[in-house]
Amino acid sequence: QGGVIRGSQFIPTDPKNKDHQKYLAWLAGGGSPDAVQEPTLADARTNANAEIDRQADRERAVHLPAVTSQGAVDFLRWEEAERADADGSITAGEYPMLEAEIPAKGADVAAVATAVIAERAALVTPLAAIEAVRVTARAAIAAAADLTAVRAVVVGLTWPA
């Protein structure tokens, strides 16, 4: 549904909307809307970069745990798995997050660490592909000569499947 912005208010194009009726009366009484102001190239770049980052966040969210308490647990598990993998002698109680996973993932901390590291490694490829699209798009925006080129970058984004 379309509409107009008058002042800081969005007025939807809806014949039943009282604000829309007032707007039409204002136009009929000789009111003239301001011309659309194109953003500066610098503002367009800033807005486009913010949009690219929003889209990249949305794409990454498909692969990463939410930044919730469970997401924090996952990051702790990954950190413990890296330490346990590098540790030659694992002492009981040293890796509580991994020990909690033993019933589901392995016979001991070393087996759980291996499984957790494999899970995390599987995330690297899609996340790197998303980051490549994001960084390439931001570079194209920085090099864009005009507003049309900036818009073309955002419209032309293709995120990895």
Residues 116/100, Cβ–Cβ less than 8 Å? no
**DSSP 8-state class, residue 40:** P
Dihedral sign for Cα 48, 54, 58, 59, please: positive
Q: How far apart are CA 85 and CA 15, in angstroms?
A: 67
Position 86 confidence tier, pLDDT thresholds 50, 70, 90: confident
pTM of the model: 0.63
pLDDT, one tens digit per residue, over 93-118 is: 889 999 999 999 878 998 999 999 99
Angle formed by the axes of helices 96-105 and 109-143, to 10°?
Answer: 110
What DSSP element (H or E) covers 10? strand 9-12
